[in-house]
């Protein structure tokens, strides 16, 4: 995947009434990025902005895993954070 490839990870809370799951799903479906460059995850028991609080380990695994797929271009690190 070339450096600078757009990507989108939507994280929605099942109990979120400010940005309900249907809104997340519609945004995901409207996105023209290929499936490998976009993902959606609904967090059980999470209200608005509570995904990390409700599921911190899975949150970290999913976000890092999603971003790692875009961190390298032809074996060379494109960006690195400390």
> What is the per-residue pLDDT across 30-73, written as a single tens digit (0 to 9) for each?
999 988 789 999 999 999 999 999 999 999 999 998 888 766 54
pTM of the full structure = 0.76
In this structure, what token pair is assigned to residue 4? 């600078």
Task: Compare 42 and 82 and report the one with higher pLDDT.
Answer: 42
Where does residue 51 rank: exposed (0-12), middle (13-18), buried (19+ CB within 10 A)?
buried
């Amino acid at each position: 995947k070339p450096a600078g490839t757009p990507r989108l990870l939507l994280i929605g809370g099942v109990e979120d009434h400010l940005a309900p799951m249907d809104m997340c799903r519609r945004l995901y479906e409207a996105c023209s990025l290929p499936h490998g460059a976009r993902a959606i995850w609904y967090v059980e028991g999470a209200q608005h902005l509570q995904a990390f609080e409700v599921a911190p380990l899975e949150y970290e695994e999913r976000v890092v895993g999603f971003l790692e797929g875009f961190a390298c271009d032809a074996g060379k690190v494109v960006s690195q954070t400390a």
